[in-house]
Amino acid sequence: MRERLGKFEVVRLLGKGAMGEVYLGRDPKLGREVALKVISVGTAFGDEAEARFEREARAAALLNHPHIVTVYEFGDDEGVHYLAMEFLDGHELETLIREGKIPKGDLLEVLAQVCDGLGYAHGRNVIHRDIKPANILVTKQGKRLHAKLMDFGVAHMGTSGLTEAGTWMGTVSYMAPEYLDTGTASASSDVFALGVILYEILSGGRKPFKGESTTSVLNCILRHAPEPFRPQDLKEVPGTLLAVVDRALAKQPQDRYPDAESLGSAIREALRASVDAPAVTVVPPSAPVGSEPEGPGGHRIRVGKGGQGQCLSLKVALRQAKTGSEILVLPGVYRESLVVDKDVAILALGEPGEVVIQANAGPVMIIQAQSVTLRGLTLQGPAGVAVLSIKSGSTRVEGGQILGFQNAGIEVAAGAQISLGEVVIGPGTGTALRVRGRGQATLVGTTLQGESGGVEVEDEGRVQLTRCRLMDSRFAGLLALEQSQAVLESCDIGNHLCSGVHALAGANVVLRQCRLVGNAGFGVSVMDRGLATMEGCQVQANGGAGLLIHRGATVQARNCTFSEGRSLGVDCADGGQGVLDTCEISGNAGAGVQVEPGGSLLLVRCSLNEGRDTGLLLLEDSEVTLEECVVRRNARGGILLARDAADPVLRGGNLVEDGFLRVDSGGNLVKVTPV
């Protein structure tokens, strides 16, 4: 280690990376500590690191802001290039998010500070291009956290020629779709990266666009909506931040916030609203009348007859309510259509099913507020409309039942959110839950029973279901339309005439530990350009194929069973492709696995056993690879090849006890030895 670099004394090594080291230094004239970034001598990154140093120094010459790390000097000492910058004793935001020890509200204020600094840089035509938590340093000033944006080493400045157009610079997980398409960065692409960090703070460190490889991450950023949030992600933050995330992560730049400062203002506004709004005290549905405690704001309204209610009508109660009020509803039948345009909680008193709200025309309830809670209510609606319509904001529904619908039980409009816990939707003749484009729904322990379908999620809508039951429809338990996203965990999906899960073009469906049993049609059907990931699922006793991979669709299944079907276990159709890893395909009436012309399938450590037909059926122009698989005790044979079908590719010690058969020119089955 050198003792000096230029005028600076070198004190000790702080850290080391691929391109160089960072030392603690001291300016002897001013007596202040500095951080010294140095290019490693002889490194292969020398030219690139030098260009980054120059770029960072040029950016520093333009920027002087309290939320941007200050660079003091760019120098060369006997061939060693160094940057002297402000030394800060703090932690990277990446570490703070991962550890989860600091309240999310404090981290959100840190991000808002970064928005201020980045907006200042954008105003001087400096595009950072590598916004990520590792490039945000957080220090403590008294009780407040203070953010500093650093590392402008890949920044773009106006029309400088330091990088060529079309060249990616930065970190893939934070790159905006248009940047991936063109390689041209803008202030809006930096705003997208801030949206990714916002998502990480809310989710506790998860990234919105995930994949097992760089290519799959790029594909998710370009084609798919972010992973849905989990209920626990939003416990300590306002639900209005969901809309902020959606706008910051919009695929099209014009749909995002116009600048970084606007995003910072939206974050702070959501935080202020959550502080200003009175807290809502939970009253159990069975609490006796008159025993409810007063809320923090002292504003509760009881609705009901018999002298115990302050008013007879829910409409009147809503007119009298203030923001944060609780409306306590006594047992009875209330024949009203309601528009909820204030942030309130409407809570049923008495036993489940004793508070019923009916509508003669129109929806029973329309939500047009930012934060609404409904608990223990039974909503019963007329024909032709949704019983509960969520137009905007974030709505929480706890307990209760939605029934009598002929159109939809619940409809979530574009940009609105709903979360449901232990709710029963149905029976009804329409669709139990419909989520429109960019709407979001999170369901836990909810039962959905609609004759026209369980859950329908439209273009860019997102749903997450945990421990839910989707039963008894004339179509599909889950219908995922184009560009939508659905995550189902530990759900039961059964007795649907078409499919348990039906994913259309461009939809992305994730199934974990789900049971798809007894559907008259397919267990899971994935259509053109759809993508499905299955983990630990049981697909059993379905009328059609347990899994249908249609033209252009892609499926990855791991630790799943496809068994006892009345048709095929797995059908990979023309142009479909899939990977089955450690799956069991057994006891199906048709072939365990059928690969049609143009289909492509990889089977790894799978077992195709005890089928009532063929273990594996390959048609002409199909491509199949088996790796460490077992094929045995199938009634018609192990692997059956159509007359012009190519042999499967065998790797790593497969066991095919039933042998190989091929259809000859006369239509007869003959035993063959694979090449």
The packing angle between helices 241-248 and 260-276, to 10°, is: 170
Cβ-based burial of 664 (10 A; exposed 0-12, middle 13-18, buried ≥19): exposed
For residue 164, the one-letter residue type is: E
Work out whether strand 515-517 and strand 577-581 pair parallel, antiparallel, or are unpaired. unpaired
Closest to 256 measured CA to CA, from 181, 189, 172: 189
Provide the terminal-to-terminal Cα distance of the chain, rounded to the nearest Å.
63
Beta strand ranges found along 87-135 (DSSP E): 91-92, 126-127
CB 221 within 8 A of CB 180: yes
Q: Give the start-end residues of each E strand in 283-385.
A: 300-303, 326-329, 332-335, 338-340, 345-348, 355-358, 365-375, 378-380
| Cβ proximity of 480 and 501 under 8 Å | yes
CA trace torsion 383, 385, 388, 393 (10° rounding): 180
Dihedral sign for Cα 191, 196, 199, 201, please: negative
Q: Among candidates 135, 7, 11, 2, which has minimal Cα distance to 72? A: 7
Secondary structure class of 509 (helix, strand, coil): strand
Q: Which of 27, 77, 130, 246 is catalytic?
A: 130
* Distance between CA atoms of residues 255 and 548, nearest Å: 36
Q: Which amino acid is at 634?
A: N
Residues 169 and 172: their CA atoms lie apart, in Å, by: 9
Nearest to 584 by CA among 561, 563, 616: 561
**Strand, coil or helix: what is 40?**
coil
77 is catalytic: no
Residue 472, token pair as written in the block: 């008894």
Q: Collapse the DSSP code of 314 into the 3-class scheme (helix H, G, I; strand E, B; otherwise coil) and give the result.
A: helix
Calculate the alpha carbon distances from 450 to 387, 395, 408, 426, 532 in Å. Answer: 13, 21, 8, 6, 24
In 3-state terms, what secondary structure has residue 547? strand
Q: How far apart are CA 122 and CA 186, in angstroms?
A: 9
- Which of 90, 80, 91, 89 lies closest to 21, judged by CA? 80
Tokens of 612: 């009532």
Which tokens belong to 128?
A: 């950072």
Residues noted as catalytic: 130
